[in-house]
Structure 1
Amino acid sequence: MRRKVFIPNKKGFKLAVIIERPDQKGRFPTVLLFHGFKGYKEEPTYSELAKALLKAGIGSIRFDASGFGESEGDFDKEYRLSNYLNDSTMIYHSSKAIPWVDQKRLGVMGQSMGGALAIILASKIPEINAVVSVSPPDIFATKDDFGKKLEEWKEKGYLEIDSSRMGKIKVPYDYVLDAKKYDIGHYASKVKSPKLFILGLADATVDPEQTRAVYQAASEPKKLVEIEGMNHFYKNDPAILEKVNKYIVEFYKKPLL
């Protein structure tokens, strides 16, 4: 069973949310899914995982961050990690009003920026029972990530990039200043629930060493999976996508089912 709803965030912007649950009656474990930088709720990373979770009897909730995709808000002003964190916190609290969501069996998952967000949120909400973080960076927007573009970004005040969802977009440098406040390894060390980290050995966007650094900083219990041939855009490789989703669903079975 799938439906789309619009839920206002703290600023009053309506967030576009997709909620999926098993067809049976009752309360179900549920996973909150967080898209990455330039990502969106319908991309295969999340839509295919939602299908795999349903087959295992697990519901899911995914949404577009404010200022992006179908959600309201000015991209220039709203697209910040801090705002995304506020949106995610609000979605978590909103899930408490959904009768079929079992709050005692709640997980989070994200990729890249979304993977970092999943860690931050779980560090602040100990009731979250399981965390999956795919290719999270340890520190955002470094020269290793963007090279000379980082200086250009600072000088111009924005970086123009292509988004499959929104076409050409100008990401303000304020995004960098905000994101740099977050040391993901620090937050990972505070998460007590089980954690699964997945990285792609062919990832040229987030260096695998960054994800390994987050994993090393994380507290137990934790697990790291490294996948040969997986790049940052594994959503475009059906075989890799299926492999990643199998690891994720299998991981969730113990803490959520």
Structure 2
Amino acid sequence: MAEQLASQDAPNPPAPAQRVLMTNTHGEKLVGLLHHMGSDKVVVLCHGFTGSKDYSLITDLAAALTKQGISVFRFDFSGNGESEGEFQYGNYKKEAADLHSVVLYLRQEKYDVAAIVGHSKGGDVVVLYASIYKDVPMVVNLSGRFHLEKGIEERLGKEFMDRINKEGYIDAKDKSGNVLYRVTKESLMERLSHDLHATSLSISKECRFFTIHGSADEIIPVEDAYEFARLIPNHKLRVIEGANHCYTAHRRELSDAVVEAITTSEAGETTP
């Protein structure tokens, strides 16, 4: 199923897109947008936690890449945005499998997947993907978290393990007390089961890997980026000075860095 539409969620919207539906390994429909620029090489963009393909950072990247004539595919992970499925707090491995379904679909349609790009949780998903499937030549991790055991207390409160062991779940709420999402013990354990140290070491040196991170990231510290840089074999690190987690005031620098990474012919060594 396909129809022509343009993004409405970016000050500089990307090229018109074709709406695409595909099915993941659980039989759930995934919804994506394909910006075909005449090239069969395509870059896949992956959103972060509670995000979607229409999050402004994703559409800004799509606009920057399509402006360079690079085809782009952006989609919603299962349980997010327009895609079917139940939202889960963890779900890293399933989201990596969703991404694999996307890559297989694009290959079936005769596209050459040149790179996968993920922001925040999506950054962890592309790291995990590279370690499991080993079938894409380039990965770009934007502000992914290395220490997955951290950042949980800020969302779920202190003594979250005691609470979730007692109740089986925790409802994350906003300041007004409205429930944002439910964290089950199973989904929390799924997050904690991933060892990004071992995952990073298992990525092939044939895969060109880029990490981009803001020096002023208030959600995931820039030190996490240095951990990826230290362990992933064929890696290049770019720290954007002053940028926060969502690159609010640094979207141009982020877009330029992603475009440069994808259009560079060879990955360099890790930079300090």
Judged with a 3 Å threshold, the aligned counterparts in structure 2 of structure 1 residues 144 and 153 are, in CA distance, closer, same or farther, namely: closer
Secondary structure of 2:264 counterpart: helix
CA distance in 2, matches of 1:168, 1:110: 23
Judged with a 3 Å threshold, the aligned counterparts in structure 2 of structure 1 residues 230 and 154 are, in CA distance, closer, same or farther, namely: farther
Judged with a 3 Å threshold, the aligned counterparts in structure 2 of structure 1 residues 150 and 108 are, in CA distance, closer, same or farther, namely: farther
CA distance in 2, matches of 1:120, 1:109: 12
Judged with a 3 Å threshold, the aligned counterparts in structure 2 of structure 1 residues 14 and 79 are, in CA distance, closer, same or farther, namely: farther
Secondary structure of 2:108 counterpart: coil
Q: CA RMSD in A?
A: 2.4
Deviation by residue 1:54-109 (Cα, 9 ceiling, x = unmatched): 12221111211111211111225x8611211111111111111223x225xx2011
Please name the residue that 2:192 is paired with.
Answer: 180
Q: Is the 8 Å Cα contact of residues 30 and 76 (structure 2) preserved in structure 1?
A: yes
Paired AA for residue 209 in structure 2: K
Runs of 5+ consecutive residues of structure 1 not aligned to the other structure:
none
CA distance in 2, matches of 1:122, 1:245: 22
Matching of residues 37-52 of structure 1 within 5 Å: 37-52=49-64
Q: 1:210 offset after TM fit, Å? A: 1.6
Q: 1:161 offset after TM fit, Å? A: 4.5
Q: Is the 8 Å Cα contact of residues 200 and 226 (structure 1) preserved in structure 2?
A: yes
TM-score, normalised via structure 1 length: 0.85
Matching of residues 191-202 of structure 1 within 5 Å: 191-192=204-205, 193-202=207-216
Given candidates 5, 17, 26, the residue that maps to 1:2 is: 17
Runs of 4+ displaced beyond 3 Å: none
Q: 1:153 offset after TM fit, Å? A: 6.2
Please name the residue that 1:107 is paired with.
Answer: 115
Taking every aligned residue pair, what percent have the same amino acid on both sides? 26
Given candidates 210, 233, 244, the residue that maps to 2:254 is: 244
Higher relative contact order (CA 8 A, sep 6+): 1
Judged with a 3 Å threshold, the aligned counterparts in structure 2 of structure 1 residues 227 and 57 are, in CA distance, closer, same or farther, namely: same
Q: 1:176 offset after TM fit, Å? A: 1.9
CA distance in 1, matches of 2:66, 2:73: 11
- Is residue 246 of structure 2 the alignment partner of residue 233 of structure 1? yes
Secondary structure of 1:142 counterpart: coil
- Is residue 227 of structure 2 the alignment partner of residue 213 of structure 1? yes
Secondary structure of 1:123 counterpart: helix
Please name the residue that 2:8 is paired with.
Answer: none
CA distance in 2, matches of 1:204, 1:145: 15
Please name the residue that 2:7 is paired with.
Answer: none
- Is residue 92 of structure 2 the alignment partner of residue 81 of structure 1? yes
TM-score, normalised via structure 2 length: 0.80
CA distance in 1, matches of 2:116, 2:173: 28
Runs of 5+ consecutive residues of structure 2 not aligned to the other structure:
1-15, 267-272
Q: 1:188 offset after TM fit, Å? A: 2.4
Q: Is the 8 Å Cα contact of residues 112 and 135 (structure 1) preserved in structure 2?
A: yes
CA distance in 1, matches of 2:90, 2:230: 29
Q: 1:154 offset after TM fit, Å? A: 5.2
CA distance in 2, matches of 1:145, 1:47: 30
Given candidates 68, 77, 89, the residue that maps to 1:65 is: 77
Higher Cα Rg, which structure: 2
Q: Is the 8 Å Cα contact of residues 123 and 191 (structure 1) preserved in structure 2?
A: yes
Judged with a 3 Å threshold, the aligned counterparts in structure 2 of structure 1 residues 113 and 125 are, in CA distance, closer, same or farther, namely: same
Q: 1:218 offset after TM fit, Å? A: 1.0
CA distance in 2, matches of 1:134, 1:158: 28
CA distance in 1, matches of 2:115, 2:265: 9
CA distance in 2, matches of 1:84, 1:52: 25
Q: 1:216 offset after TM fit, Å? A: 0.9
CA distance in 1, matches of 2:227, 2:107: 33
